[in-house]
Amino acid sequence: MPPIKKPLRLFSLAIAVTAIALASWYFTRPKPLEVELATIATGNVESSIVNTRAGTIKSCQRSNLAPITGGQIAKIWIKEGDHVQKGQILLELWSQDLQAQRELAQRQLTMAQERRRETCILAENARRESIRTQQLVEQGFVSSQRAEDADANARSRQASCDATISDIKRAEAQIRVAQAGVDRTVITAPFSGVIAHISGELGEFTTPSPPGIPTPPTIDLIDDSCLYVTAPMDEVDAKLKLK
């Protein structure tokens, strides 16, 4: 019996050693390498070049805004970093005197319209009176002199009516002139974009840039919907195609 148990003991020991060796290899084996998958597609061929100077991001549209006329800043409706829409009011100068002139012109227009209504009613009444008087002359009830007086009065009333039309046009022109003066004190956005910089505070005076003298703009507006990059590049890296 003892000679039979010894081979079994050796076989069991070999299995145990093999199991330990397999377990050690399994837990100490190197981890698989991680890879990145990419889908193959057509596109532009890009290459890198050496550049010793930095590039600049620029906007397709950039406007340095300033009021047409000088004055004191009364209202600032925006702040730096705000996105604005085309036509939006950005800044207003003090213009109470110009607004008063515009209101005066509007009142003069109202008075001219009322005067025209009155004079034209009287002119129409004088015209009908002249017609009735002429009929009475033809029937022999009144003298021809009275008919001539009625006709002259009718023509005079009609002339007054026509003159009031000129008064209305003059008042309308005065309103346009006053409104133009008010518009000169307002800065509006010429296009949609973002406010990059504001020069000036409430109560400060601002003036337009005189010809030939650079003056910091009151508002710097940038169109952030269209941007591009400019960067210097060495000639050796530039591929020139001559025609």
Task: Please state, in angstroms and rounded to a whole number, the distance separating the CA atoms of residues 108 and 1.
Answer: 137
Q: Which two tokens stand for residue 95?
A: 């213009």
pLDDT tens, position by position, 196-210: 888 888 888 887 766
Mean pLDDT of the chain: 81
Band of pLDDT at residue 91, cut at 50, 70 and 90: very high
Q: What is the CA radius of gyration of the chain?
A: 46
Q: What is the mean pLDDT of residues 95-121?
A: 89
Residue 76 pairs with which residues in a beta bridge? 91
Residue type, position 181, single letter = G
Helix (H) or strand (E) holding 107: helix 96-139
Give the DSSP H/E element, type plus range, for residue 187. strand 186-188
CB within 8 Å of 83: residues ≥ 6 apart = 192, 193, 194, 224
The owner of tokens 């109470």 is 96
| Lowest mean pLDDT across 47-51, 75-79, 195-199 | 47-51
The pLDDT tens digits for 117-163 are: 888 888 888 888 888 888 887 777 777 788 788 888 888 888 888 88
Closest CA to 84 of 186, 192, 187, 188: 192
pTM over 0.75: no
